[in-house]
Amino acid sequence: MTGRLAGRVVAVHGKHFMVETGDDRYNCVTRGKKGGIACGDRVEFKTTSADNGVIEQTLERDNLLYRSDRFHTKLLAANVDQVFVVTAAVPTPDPSLLDRCLVACEAAGIPARIVVNKTDLPETAAWLDKLGAYAAMGYPLIPLAATEAIEPLRHWLTDKTSILVGASGVGKSTLINALVPEAEIVTQEISEALDTGKHTTTHTRLYRLIEGGALIDSPGMQEFALNHVAPDMLQDAFPEFRPLIGQCRFYNCQHLKEPNCAILAAVADGRILKQRWKSYKMLYAEINAAKY
């Protein structure tokens, strides 16, 4: 059987892609060395057998969430409605990694929410207190304990395509298993079809939700480079900076050490978190260094 079909990429394993169309799944590859396909992409493919195919075209995206350093680009997901950055007080959280995830969402134009997992641990109260400033910036906080109840998150997911991102060890897999009870079965089926062996979350996967919508699981990360963000656009990815942009002494102010900088003044008097400005400063230096 041959023919051209439209489908959605539901799993990415190197140069192999699981494409779903209706109730059917196809193990697909691309022609030549063509890549750049993300989980969640809408594609057109041509079947080569009952279960296999070749992706012919990636259709226009609504958005793309990804990270990049000077050498590599890692696509996380395409065509998503929202991103949930999963955090926890244990292991010790890295505020810089949280900021990088949020900047990536802002740069991609995708709404972000912050999940605070492991509320059953005593350390979580202090972490939630620190995150209160992020709620004031407009990022909703969703506290929960994935091992006890995930209802605080479930109602956000209906009829939307969402992705979970976050550091290793924060409980993303536990959340996935609670929200999608058959996730392990689906993962094993995909791994067997793509010959990737036993399940480990090293690739992105999309799961259908019984209440409607889809949830994408992504590998845990320890870093999140953002070399694709232009230096002069970085300030716009910090929502608390935006009301002050244009109020600095210099029109091209970099908000690093310039005199009469509105952003630095806000950091000094506590209107902007010093940690957030440090994240901005570090990212600005990294992005500029990558250009040369």
Do 200 and 73 share a domain, yes or no?
yes
Range of the domain at 135: 64-217
Biggest CA pair distance of the chain: 69
**Is the pLDDT score of 292 beyond 90?**
no
Instruction: Convert the pLDDT of each residue in 216-233 to its tens digit.
Output: 999 888 889 999 999 999
Q: Per the domain annotation, does 94 fall within a domain?
A: yes
Do 68 and 213 share a domain, yes or no?
yes
Question: Residue 231: is the preceding peptide bond cis (ω within 30°)?
Answer: no
Q: Per the domain annotation, does 211 fall within a domain?
A: yes
pLDDT band at 202 (very low <50, low <70, confident <90, very high): low
Do 70 and 211 share a domain, yes or no?
yes
Side-chain-side CA neighbours of residue 193 (13 Å): 25
Distance CA 173, CA 179 (A): 10
Distance CA 285, CA 292 (A): 11
Q: What percent of the chain has pLDDT over 70?
A: 91
| Average pLDDT of the residues in 38-63 | 96
* Distance between first and last Cα of the chain: 51
Instruction: Convert the pLDDT of each residue in 51-72 to its tens digit.
Output: 999 999 999 999 999 999 888 8
Do 91 and 175 share a domain, yes or no?
yes
Give the chain's domain count: 3
A 10 A CB-CB count for 109 gives: 10
| Average pLDDT of the residues in 19-48 | 92
Do 51 and 69 share a domain, yes or no?
no
Do 121 and 156 share a domain, yes or no?
yes
**Is the pLDDT score of 115 beyond 80?**
yes
What sign results for the dihedral spanned by CA atoms 133, 137, 143, 146?
Answer: negative
Do 87 and 202 share a domain, yes or no?
yes
Phi, psi angles (nearest 5°) of residue 68: -155, 140
pLDDT at 186: 53
| Average pLDDT of the residues in 195-216 | 75
Do 205 and 179 share a domain, yes or no?
yes
Distance CA 140, CA 153 (A): 11
Q: Per the domain annotation, does 195 fall within a domain?
A: yes
Q: Specify the CATH number for the domain of residue 262.
A: 1.10.40.50
Using CA atoms of 244, 250, 254, 257 in order, give the dihedral in degrees to the nearest 10: -100
* Structure-token pair, residue 163: 């992705």
pLDDT band at 203 (very low <50, low <70, confident <90, very high): confident
Instruction: Convert the pLDDT of each residue in 59-109 to its tens digit.
Output: 999 999 999 988 889 999 999 999 999 999 999 999 999 999 999 999 999
Q: What percent of the chain has pLDDT over 90?
A: 80
- Of the candidates 35, 58, 81, which is a domain's last residue? 58
Do 83 and 13 share a domain, yes or no?
no
A 10 A CB-CB count for 271 gives: 13
Side-chain-side CA neighbours of residue 12 (13 Å): 24
Do 167 and 188 share a domain, yes or no?
yes
Q: Specify the CATH number for the domain of residue 42.
A: 2.40.50.140
* Structure-token pair, residue 211: 């209440």
Distance CA 124, CA 141 (A): 13
A 10 A CB-CB count for 222 gives: 9
**Is the pLDDT score of 199 beyond 60?**
no
Q: Per the domain annotation, does 225 fall within a domain?
A: no
Instruction: Convert the pLDDT of each residue in 157-196 to its tens digit.
Output: 999 999 999 998 999 989 999 999 877 645 555 555 655 4
Q: Specify the CATH number for the domain of residue 118.
A: 3.40.50.300
**Is the pLDDT score of 28 beyond 90?**
yes
**Mean pLDDT (the chain, rounded):** 91
Q: Per the domain annotation, does 226 fall within a domain?
A: no
Q: Per the domain annotation, does 8 fall within a domain?
A: yes
Distance CA 5, CA 42 (A): 11
Do 152 and 39 share a domain, yes or no?
no
pLDDT at 182: 79
More confident residue, 223 or 11: 11
Do 184 and 109 share a domain, yes or no?
yes
pLDDT at 290: 72
Residue showing tokens 């963000």 = 229
